[in-house]
């Protein structure tokens, strides 16, 4: 039995913690204080013991906690070269601040740590404590986790690119040229569990493509939010109460115009006019246009239907 156990575990990354886990499970399955071959087969040997133990813990969680556990495990894995996945450390505070109920996240973390599926690494302060998967072999030998990773492979790679872009943005002095645009920004805005750097990066990227509405004297009247790409055209409705904008992100958005100042706004055209098909139901009878932040305003155009 010893030879069989060592044969399964030797060569695995972090073999010693995996051996420790397997021995613990064998001891828990002992009969009359004796570890038997039947117990070895029951727990699944060296590799299967880990997956079976993880499944047992996971199945004991209520459905809401199971979803939280899935999110935690996915957050602790990153794509590497080829199709391989590797574990990574994440600050405990980042996991708790990921948009879910903090008490539920803490409850699930505690359960997974107590079950020796996750482990903590202390930092200089409690806020620097990091969490990681206790056994690298869990990524390959727990079918449930393998299925999650396969389903989320594309999203994990996109998330990894976001992390790398945010780190580059910080390293190069947070320049405007390194910000996200278009579809990349739109995807980044959907992640609920960004860390502080990623959150700052996405917010800065969003602000860089926010359109501002000005009057003819150059006074800012309103900020038009909602697009993730450059806004290139805008028109008013016939009664002057609504504005329709078109963006490079492939979307059109409608805004309510609630003041007389906005109805009389002069805005600069950035790229091109909306086509008649795009503005069907709208009629331009006021000089319009707009500009993006930190971009020069081209000449004012008036569009008529």
Inter-residue contact 165 to 180 (CB < 8 Å): yes
**Any domain includes 196:** yes
Phi-psi region of 10 (alpha: psi -120 to 50; beta: other; left: phi over 0): beta
pLDDT of residue 158: 86
The CA–CA distances, whole Å, from 116 to 43, 47, 69 equal 16, 15, 14
Asked if 49 and 126 sit in the same domain, the reply is: yes
The CA–CA distances, whole Å, from 275 to 29, 108, 215, 255 equal 73, 53, 24, 18
Between strands 77-79 and 85-87, the pairing is antiparallel
pLDDT one-digit tens code per residue, 100-113: 788 999 999 999 99
The two structure tokens encoding residue 179: 């910000």
The residue with greater pLDDT, 36 or 235, is 36
Asked if 160 and 243 sit in the same domain, the reply is: no
pLDDT of residue 144: 94
Token pair 């939280």: residue: 68
pLDDT of residue 11: 67
Asked if 102 and 41 sit in the same domain, the reply is: yes
pLDDT of residue 207 exceeding 90, the answer is no
Residues 151-180 have a mean pLDDT of 88
pLDDT of residue 217 exceeding 60, the answer is no
Asked if 140 and 110 sit in the same domain, the reply is: yes
Residue finishing a domain among 131, 151, 171: 151
- CA dist 92 and 129 (Å) reads 6
The DSSP code for 269 is -
Nearest to 58 by CA among 13, 139, 117: 117
**Global pTM?**
0.59
Domain that holds residue 130: 2-151
**Any domain includes 305:** no
Angle between helices 15-28 and 2-9 (to 10 degrees): 140
- CA dist 43 and 52 (Å) reads 7
Asked if 256 and 236 sit in the same domain, the reply is: yes
Token pair 């570890």: residue: 35
Nearest to 258 by CA among 280, 243, 238: 243
Q: Which of 78-82, 171-175, 245-249 has the highest mean pLDDT?
A: 171-175
pLDDT of residue 152 exceeding 80, the answer is yes
Residue finishing a domain among 104, 132, 151: 151
Residues 89-96 have a mean pLDDT of 87
The residue with greater pLDDT, 250 or 281, is 250
Residue finishing a domain among 107, 135, 151: 151
Lowest average pLDDT, out of 40-49, 208-217, 252-261, goes to 208-217
pLDDT of residue 292 exceeding 70, the answer is no
**Any domain includes 302:** no
Asked if 282 and 259 sit in the same domain, the reply is: yes
- CA dist 161 and 165 (Å) reads 6
**Any domain includes 83:** yes
Asked if 101 and 62 sit in the same domain, the reply is: yes
pLDDT of residue 76: 92
Asked if 87 and 104 sit in the same domain, the reply is: yes
Asked if 100 and 179 sit in the same domain, the reply is: no
What total of structural domains would you count in the chain? 3
- CA dist 134 and 113 (Å) reads 8
Instruction: State the CATH number of the domain containing residue 99.
Output: 1.10.10
Residues 63-90 have a mean pLDDT of 86
């Amino acid at each position: 039995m010893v030879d069989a156990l060592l044969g399964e575990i030797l060569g695995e990354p972090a073999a010693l913690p995996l051996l420790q886990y397997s021995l613990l499970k064998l001891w828990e399955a002992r009969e009359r204080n004796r570890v038997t071959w039947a117990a070895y087969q029951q727990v699944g040997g060296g590799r299967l013991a880990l997956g079976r133990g993880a499944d047992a813990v996971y199945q004991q969680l209520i459905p809401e906690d199971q979803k939280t556990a899935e999110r935690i495990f996915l957050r602790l894995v990153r794509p590497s070269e080829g199709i391989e996945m590797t574990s990574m450390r994440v600050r405990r505070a980042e996991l708790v601040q990921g948009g879910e109920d903090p008490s539920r996240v803490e409850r699930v973390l505690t359960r997974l740590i107590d079950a020796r599926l996750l482990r903590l690494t202390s930092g200089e302060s409690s806020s620097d404590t990091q969490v990681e998967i206790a056994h690298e072999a869990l990524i390959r030998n727990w079918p449930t986790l393998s299925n999650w990773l396969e389903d989320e492979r594309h999203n994990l790679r996109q998330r990894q690119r976001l992390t790398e872009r945010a780190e580059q943005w910080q390293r190069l002095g947070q320049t405007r040229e390194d910000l996200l645009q278009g579809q990349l920004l739109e995807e980044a805005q959907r992640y609920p569990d960004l860390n502080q750097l990623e959150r700052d990066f996405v917010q800065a990227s969003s602000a860089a493509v926010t359109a501002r509405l000005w009057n003819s004297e150059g006074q800012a009247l309103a900020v038009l939010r909602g697009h993730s790409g450059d806004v290139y055209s805008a028109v008013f409705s016939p009664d002057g109460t609504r504005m329709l904008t078109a963006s490079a992100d492939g979307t059109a958005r409608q805004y309510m115009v609630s003041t007389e100042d906005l109805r009389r706004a002069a805005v600069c055209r950035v790229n091109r006019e909306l086509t008649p098909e795009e503005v069907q139901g709208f009629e331009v009878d006021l000089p319009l246009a707009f500009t993006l932040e930190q971009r020069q305003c081209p000449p004012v155009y008036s569009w008529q239907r």
